[in-house]
Structure 1
Amino acid sequence: MTASSPAPATARKLPAGALKAYIASLTGTSLEYYDFAIYSVASALVFPKVFFPNNDEFVGLLLSFSAFAVGYLARPIGGVVFGRLGDRIGRKKVLVVTLMLIGVATFLIGALPDYSVIGIAAPVVLVLLRLAQGIGVGGEWGGAVLLSSEFGDPTKRGFWSSAAQIGPPAGNLMANGVLAILAASLSNEAFLSWGWRVAFLSSALLVVFGLLIRLKLEETPVFKAIAAHGDRPKAPITEVFRKEPRALISAALSRVCPDVLYALFTVFVAVYATKQLGMTTGNVLAAILIGSAFQLFLIPAAGALTDRFNRRLVYGIAAAGTAIWIPVFFIMIQSRSEVVLTAGVVIGLAFHALMYGPQAAYITEQFPARLRYAGSSLAYTLAGVIGGAVAPLIFTALYAASGNWYLIAVYLLAASLVTIIGLALGRDPQPEEDLRLLGEATGQESHA
């Protein structure tokens, strides 16, 4: 990894749809993480009682979490199906379908009759809807990234690609805001009876807003140039595995550390601080929400930073900083101070932002333009299964086995090293490919 700046002197005028594409990209991933946050809460508090009634409460909880995990396991299916279509028929068409799939499934969960009404059909349909959500999410991310980055300046891909990365903190903030309002205004009985459904049904607003923007957008300039050259791949998934194995490995490994780190600070810290340190749930949630609010600005800033300085270098420094910060964080919060906890979470999520902001640009630029949707989707979904999906379970197992945070710090160290290895295998930005494609397409239009 060198320290040279990746950006060449040549740039281009932004298309008129660049800002709309940025908003459209952000909307889709915000819906994804809004769904993630409300489904997490519902899986723990609501679904065991509503959809998985059992005399053993623990069994009901396990069944509910199993339904939650289905969404993660289904993501690679979406990555394969929609990744292929995205490189074959275009980014826009696929993104309209994925947004509708996620949104309709989320809405239907909110409207699904419970076990007392339709019996065993209730949990079966819930799992099927969760499966549909996962498939949609698996195809959404790669396209959302390409939608904003391929409308934007190729020499500033870090910033333009960051639109999709703002989704997690934005979705978490919206979900927690809705849940806070419901919790404050309803009794526990009312929340279990119908209040939780409001959080799911509200997703329809995001879907409608996102669709209005996406339907008005044209296809991305880069894909139109590829289509004009007659260079669309016939079997993009096969080509990625056959021709781009190193890129796929590099892109997938780059996700591991930020995924594990995010799970630590948004999921496990809440368990550790309340169970081990005796702090209140309100203290922890406030710290996470403040950290998420900072990320709304830090993520695009981090993406823009790596447009000026070597992307892999900045990413790698943040991964190394993560390994150092985790033991410092756990030592600090032994004081049980709310201020210290909040500062520690904010700094931890800032390290995450330094990796997550440029992550979308890094992953997409590992693949040639004609294979970007398939390659990016595969890397994103496969890494999610071995990173964020299992991280909370591993944290819990390590903590139960040792009774302290030491093994968790070792786990984050290993995740950091995996990501650094992935970065070492990757390549620096090559915006010349997009500029050449766009230049040739513009020349053909002028000649015509």
Structure 2
Amino acid sequence: MSSPATAPPAPNNLKRIVAASLIGTTIEWYDFFLYTTAAALVLGTVFFPSGGHPLLGTIAALAGHAVGFAARPLGGLVFGHIGDRRGRKAALMGTLSLMGGATFCMGLLPSYSTAGLLSPLLLVLLRVLQGAAAGGEWGGGVLIITENVPAERRGFLASFSACGMGLGFVLSALALWLAEQVSGDGFVAWGWRLPFLASVVIFVVGIYIRRNLGETDSFEAEATETERAPRAPLREVLRRHPRQVLFAMALRFSDSGASYIFMSFSLVYGAYVGISSTVLLWAGIGGMLVDSAMMVVFGRLSDTVGRRPVYLGGAIGMLVWAAPFFMLMNTGQPAAVWVAFVIGHIAMAAMIGVQPSYFSELFSTSTRYSGMALGHELSTAIAGGLSPVVATALLAATGHYLPVALLTMGLALVSLVALVFFAHVPQESAQDAPRDADQPRRADDATPVA
């Protein structure tokens, strides 16, 4: 069911909506990526005994990363249900509270040397809660924008919600780097805790921002109609939109798998080939800043040429760049490492920047939160959650980057096949997606493109 046409928001209100989504999403993903970055740098040493092999503790810490991803689909379904039934704002307040509480508690956990097996068990439990919160966050952060903005600018404006993910990673990496400078030799003993404990401050900021957000235009319009949202949005999604869910899942394989190989496993691989953690962190930060900026560029481009061509270019870029990324890392030269990260993140940006508008246009208002969460998070749990663990295990088994590069290329191929052979998936919302997402909007075109 689509909502009736509503007046576009005033420019000042539009800026406030985009800014609120960007800031709130950045805060959420700072918390989530903090574990991912710390797992590659220090958590294996603190919480998981290595048994003598230098990579075993890291593999165990990254397995905790994967467990968090396994919880993301469940969180997406729970908060998607809340978002479709009670409103986007209610769901987003819940995700922020759960994420902030879990992250702060991680900073208080005793180490393995103090508490034994209880320590990693509690860490994994908190990571599960983080994963559940992240699973509900992405769709809500996107819908705050896509359900409030003019259709002809949806790709551009919605890309700012994706920027929050990139900026969250940047903040988490900067926080860990600063903690390392402050604590020096004490970083492993206590310094790593500082960024986790500091999350309580940004949690308060996030709660303030989201409490002052209104509900989205599309959801409010839906609530005024006689036919309300279904009692079981998930069941309705599976009944009405199975092709859309599968299509979204396939599109996510490339960027989700590659992004965590580039952001997390690359820190492991860089240390393996002798690159300093400082060079790796700053190259990752630089790459992600470029990524965030290019998301907006590609989002704007998708309003002109269509979502599919831009996404296709990103998937091809990921396929081509998988091996050169590690070849440049092998040189050990800081400049080469920076080039590897920056170009890899540009390819990711072409996909991640388009996802908010592309995915939101696949579902109708009454089931959109649940549909987006299902498609996005199932794929993320498989590709994003497992890729760093599998990549580290492949490195431990072979001592070479080639199997990891082939893994990255395989993930890109899944998205490419979907884009080439299964792209013509019907959209379900006439008003909220007033044109085919694969068709550019012409200046003289004020009606939907059939």
Structure 1-normalised TM-score?
0.85
Match of 2:377 among 376, 381, 389: 381
Q: Structure 1 residues 11, 228: CA separation in 2 closer, same or farther (over 3 Å shift)? A: closer
The one-letter amino acid paired with 2:132 is: I
Alignment pair present for 1:87 and 2:101: no
How far is the alpha carbon of 1:195 from its aligned partner? 2.5
- Structure 2 contact 267–277 (Cα < 8 Å) conserved: yes
Match of 2:181 in 1: 184
Q: Distance in 2 between matches of 1:57 and 1:335?
A: 24
Q: Distance in 2 between matches of 1:380 and 1:29?
A: 16
Q: Write the deviation string for residues 61-98 of structure 1: whole angstroms up to 9, x where unpaired.
A: 56544433321111111111111111111101111111
Match of 1:7 in 2: none
Q: Write the deviation string for residues 345-382 of structure 1: whole angstroms up to 9, x where unpaired.
A: 21111111111100121122111222110000111110
Q: Write the deviation string for residues 177-197 of structure 1: whole angstroms up to 9, x where unpaired.
A: 2222221122323x3443222
The one-letter amino acid paired with 2:133 is: G
Alignment pair present for 1:235 and 2:232: yes
Count of aligned positions: 425
1:342-381 equivalence runs, <5 A: 342-381=338-377
Match of 1:130 in 2: 127
Q: Distance in 2 between matches of 1:403 and 1:296?
A: 32
Q: Structure 1 residues 234, 423: CA separation in 2 closer, same or farther (over 3 Å shift)? A: farther
Alignment pair present for 1:25 and 2:28: no
Structure 1 SS opposite 2:102: helix
Q: Write the deviation string for residues 313-340 of structure 1: whole angstroms up to 9, x where unpaired.
A: 1111221122122234444555443223
Q: Distance in 1 between matches of 2:305 and 2:164?
A: 24
Match of 2:389 in 1: 393
The one-letter amino acid paired with 2:359 is: I
How far is the alpha carbon of 1:21 from its aligned partner? 2.5
- Structure 2 contact 363–429 (Cα < 8 Å) conserved: no
- Structure 1 contact 395–408 (Cα < 8 Å) conserved: yes
How far is the alpha carbon of 1:107 from its aligned partner? 1.4
1:24-173 equivalence runs, <5 A: 24-43=20-39, 46-47=42-43, 51=47, 64-113=61-110, 121-173=118-170
Q: Bigger shift: 205-214 or 395-404?
A: 395-404
Q: Distance in 1 between matches of 2:269 and 2:115?
A: 38
The one-letter amino acid paired with 1:383 is: S
Q: Structure 1 residues 313, 55: CA separation in 2 closer, same or farther (over 3 Å shift)? A: closer
Q: Distance in 2 between matches of 1:117 and 1:309?
A: 57
How far is the alpha carbon of 1:165 from its aligned partner? 1.1
- Structure 2 contact 23–164 (Cα < 8 Å) conserved: yes
Q: Structure 1 residues 280, 66: CA separation in 2 closer, same or farther (over 3 Å shift)? A: closer
The one-letter amino acid paired with 2:16 is: K
Match of 2:213 among 217, 235, 243: 217
Q: Distance in 2 between matches of 1:435 and 1:343?
A: 37
Q: Distance in 2 between matches of 1:150 and 1:432?
A: 13
The one-letter amino acid paired with 2:9 is: L
Alignment pair present for 1:433 and 2:431: yes
Q: Distance in 2 between matches of 1:434 and 1:152?
A: 10
The root-mean-square deviation of aligned C-alpha atoms, in Å, is 2.8
- Structure 2 contact 151–433 (Cα < 8 Å) conserved: yes
Alignment pair present for 1:247 and 2:244: yes
Q: Write the deviation string for residues 33-64 of structure 1: whole angstroms up to 9, x where unpaired.
A: 32233223444555456555798787765654
- Unpaired runs of at least 5, structure 1: 1-9, 437-448
Structure 2-normalised TM-score?
0.85
- Unpaired runs of at least 5, structure 2: 435-450
Q: Bigger shift: 420-429 or 222-231?
A: 420-429
Structure 2 SS opposite 1:392: helix
